Amino acid sequence: MARVPVAEGVFTWSDDPQLIGSRCSACGIVTFPVQDSCPRCGSTDMAERLLPRRGRLWAWTTQEFPPPSPPYAGPTGDAFVPFGVGYVELAGEVKVETRLTEANALRIGMDMELVLVPFRTDDGGNEVVTFAFRPVG
C-alpha cells in the first residue's frame, strides 16, 4: 500500500515534514496555505516559505461529527472518530488552521509539532496522509 499526500503543495514529503506557506516580499506577511497575492497589501510578489515544524496552540475545539462533504472526504458514520481542530501559531508569524491528534488533554499555549497522519484509504487502496499537530512531549 502506497502513502500519498492529501494534496500537492501543502506540506513537504519527508520524515521531518514542513508546511508550505508563502511570504509577501513587500510587507513580510506570511500565509498558509500558499497565496498568489498578499491578503494585506495586495502585492503579487509572494515567495514560497517553509514554516517552522513547531508552534503553540492558540485555540482549539473538538469536531464531534463529520464535517460537511465536500470538502470533507474522511470517514463517516461508525468509522468517524472525533478529533481536535484548532489554530497553531508558528514562530509568531502565522496561525495555521489544523487538525489535532488529540481531542482532549489540550490547553492553550502548549507546544505542538507537525506530524503526518493517516486520513483515509482512496479507491486505489492507497493510504492518504494529511497533516496534524500533536502535543510535544
User: Which residues are near Zn ion by CB under 5 A?
Assistant: 24, 26-27, 38, 40-41, 43
For Zn ion, the closer of residues 10 and 29 by Cβ is 29
Q: Which is nearer to Zn ion, 36 or 78 (CB)?
A: 36
Shortest approach of Zn ion to residue 104 CB, angstroms? 38
Output 47 or 115, the one with its CB closest to Zn ion.
47
Q: How far apart are CA 48 and CA 24, in angstroms?
A: 9
In the complex with Zn ion, which residue's Cβ is closer, 27 or 136? 27
User: Collapsing DSSP states into helix, strand and coil, what is residue 24?
Assistant: strand
Cα-Cα-Cα-Cα dihedral sign, residues 48, 90, 98, 126 = positive
Shortest Cβ distance from residue 35 to Zn ion (Å)? 10
Beta strand ranges found along the chain (DSSP E):
3-5, 20-24, 30-31, 46-50, 54-63, 83-90, 94-100, 111-121, 127-135
For the CB of residue 20, give the shortest distance to Zn ion in the complex, in Å.
Answer: 18
- Min dist CB 29 to Zn ion, Å, is 5
> Residue 137: which residues within 8 A CB-CB, separation 6 or more?
111
